[in-house]
Structure 1
Amino acid sequence: MAQAVQAAAQRQYHQQLAANTGTTLPGNNPVPRGPANDVQAADAGMTEENRRVLEWIAQLMKPTTREAALLELSKKREQVPELALILWHSFGVMASLLQEIISVYPLLNPSQLTAAASNRVCNALALLQCVASHTETRGLFLSAHIPLFLYPFLNTTSKSRPFEYLRLTSLGVIGALVKNDSSEVINFLLTTEIIPLCLRIMETGSELSKTVAIFIVQKILLDDIGLAYICQTYERFYAVGTVLSNMVNQLVEQQTVRLLKHVVRCFLRLSDNARAREALRQCLPEPLRDATFSSVLRDDAATKRCLAQLLINLSDNVVDPANNQQLMH
């Protein structure tokens, strides 16, 4: 009952929003122009905070006011539960955000991206992450293939701070997509170049970028379709396994538990596949077999259990893969 009332109220709100911010063509069909183009006509009971949010969204439509609006909305995105719905369903707003993203493509190669330009586009990306995170807009976000607009950013290699910030924020959008274990998301990503892009960042990015990139790969592996895809050919398995092994060798020096726990879980999930398990018996990095990481994992019981299970899987005592799934979540 409560859900029905909430849904009815939401429909009424959107209808009112369309009526307040649209024009009417023959046939009385409202054509929305953006949710705050006529804020004065909005509901008199609207809070000042919500009124400001709608004003900022309207300002996204104007190049002269967009930068300030992006900054303000990116700050408020966690505080406005329905912001994703308003952004998506407001005419022209998503196009404005994509325009911000496309506008910096010429600055990527050769590397001309300034800190100010990076901050501005990252504010736009933060709003896209808001849309990608929401259950009601995630599927629409995928259907429009919007993640593909981020891939040129993930494909950059400059180590400068503006580029690193751009890559990290772009990874955050993809991370928001995979966070809820949706097969629809995984199916979409597998039709794109996300795995090679993440693998490159896992090798050469900052620690934080590596962490988000391997989180995305881990989420893909946790899906049965994703695991089957990566283990379908030797080339795919080799690419993933090699990068994971290289990360292990780097972690021998750095001893970063945040990265190590994802590496262990990726190897554990790979061991659920019979062909991959056979290969890992030969090529699992030695530091995962001995006590190299015992000190860094001393206070991480969950990762220690995952590592122990991985070694059991690679012995002759193979257990039900369902047990591994429970350990990895």
Structure 2
Amino acid sequence: MSNSWERRYRMDLLIVNLRESSIRGNVLVELNKFIIHQSTEAMRMDLGFHLWNSELTFPILLQEVVAVYPKLLDPTILTMTETTRLCNALNVIQCMASHPDARIGLLRANIPYFLNPFLQVSENVMRLLQGVTLSILDLIAELAKFDESYGQEILLLLLDTQVVHLCLHCILHGHQQIRKVATFILVKILMQEKGLKYCCTLPARFLLVIQVLHQLVDKFTCDEIPCLQQIKCVVQCYLCLSRVAWVGGIYDAVRTYFPQQLIDNTFGNITRVSPSSCFSPDDLEIPNMLHQLVLNLTRQPPQ
């Protein structure tokens, strides 16, 4: 029996067993283990496509998500077993989203709207649902692939679900890993022309974006040691915003809320180029971005 045949047999058996409500919790555990053991991206995409096209699988997983809604009113009654089961269901949906056809299918099926209630909670509730919040953000990050097929449709569908506002909410109230993933999603949106326009068209929305980013940098300064990827995402966000700073009279707002910590060497131990004479282009990426950002913010506005 070939490994490929064994893998497909195991996959089909798990999908069929998922329909049995009495054993579904255990099946979700096994399905997550099976996903983890997919050693290549191609294998993961194949599994995602197979899951998406299997009868009843997506409705069953959606049922697992919706079943938790009543307990959002009092998440203290949500047991660890229930939380783990929900995260397992979300991870399977994330595996689906690894395939482009399934990804656009999930968005056309309005999957973000079913996830939003978990992200619209208060800071205290989010603290109790950290694992669930992180699983949802990881799923949204998997959906947010704008440089592939259906990319622009995916962007517009996500923007319609208030994903920017929800990411900002998570940056303000989530723990470090939640903030990291939410900022990653935000910068991917800002790097798209239509996403940048969306964030800058309404003054209130634009002001909220730069205020939240400023508060995030303040967290880095006061009580959190950021990693290189976090700093890079924040700098990329400001760089995107600075490129449209002349439009609509928002230049002064960008400068007012720009955190000086990014350029006053507060994070020099992270962003400084190694003194070695031989360095990779990656070593220069953040310093070059900061240099361009300073240029964008110090130019005189056009008369």
What are the residue-to-residue correspondences of 1:228-239 with 2, within 5 Å?
228-239=197-208
Letter paired with 1:168: L
Q: Please identify the structure whose Cα radius of gyration is greater.
A: 1
1:208-227 Cα deviation digits (max 9, x unpaired):
10000011111110110010
Rounded to whole Å, the distance in 1 between the matches of 2:3 and 2:187 is 46
Is 1:148 aligned to 2:113, yes or no? yes
Distance 2:129 2:18 in 1: 24
What's 2:290 paired with?
307
* Maintained 8 Å contact 1:113/1:162: no
Aligned pair partner of 1:292 in 266, 276, 280: 266
Q: Deviations over 1:38-97 (max 9, x none)?
A: xxxxx9997233212211100111101211111111122251441112211111111100
Quote the residue 2:71 is aligned against: 107
Q: Distance in 1 between matches of 2:138 and 2:70?
A: 22
Q: 1:271 is matched with which residue?
A: 242
**Contact 2:155 2:195 survives alignment (8 Å):** yes
Give the Cα–Cα distance (whole angstroms) in 2 for the partners of residues 216 and 296 of structure 1: 22
Q: Which residue of 1 aligns with 2:194?
A: 225
After superposition, the Cα gap between the structure-2 partners of 1:88 and 1:286, relative to the gap in structure 1 and judged at 3 Å, is same
Partner of 2:92: 127
Amino acid at match of 1:190: L
Higher RCO (C-alpha under 8 Å, 6+ residues apart): 2
Q: Which residue of 2 aligns with 1:47?
A: 5
**Cα distance in 2 for residues equivalent to 1:76 and 1:245:** 41
Q: How does 1:135-284 map to 2 (within 5 A)?
A: 135-156=100-121, 157-158=123-124, 163-181=129-147, 182-253=151-222, 254-257=224-227, 258-273=229-244, 274-275=246-247, 276-284=250-258
| 1:223-263 deviations in Å (ceiling 9; x for gaps) | 10010111101101101010001111111122313322211
Equivalent residue, structure 2, for 1:6? none
Do the aligned partners of residues 269 and 46 (structure 1) sit closer, same or farther apart at CA in structure 2, a change above 3 Å counting? Answer: closer
TM-score between the two structures when normalised by the length of structure 2 = 0.85
- Code of the residue aligned with 1:256 in structure 2: it is P
Unpaired segments ≥5 residues, structure 2: 274-282
After the TM superposition, list the runs of 4 or more consecutive aligned residues in structure 1 that deviate by more than 6 angstroms: 43-46
Contact 1:158 1:164 in 2 (8 A): no
Number of the residue aligned with 1:64:
22
1:272-302 deviation digits (Å, cap 9, x = unpaired): 1123444313331222242222223225532
Amino acid at match of 1:86: H
Q: What's the Cα RMSD here?
A: 2.2
Q: Residues 317 and 74 from structure 1, CA distance in 2 versus in 1: closer, same or farther, beyond 3 angstroms? A: farther
Kindly state the Cα deviation for residue 118 of structure 1 after the two structures are TM-superposed. 0.9
How many pairs are equivalent? 276
Map residues 78-97 of structure 1 onto 2, 5 A cutoff.
78=36, 79=38, 80-81=43-44, 82-97=46-61
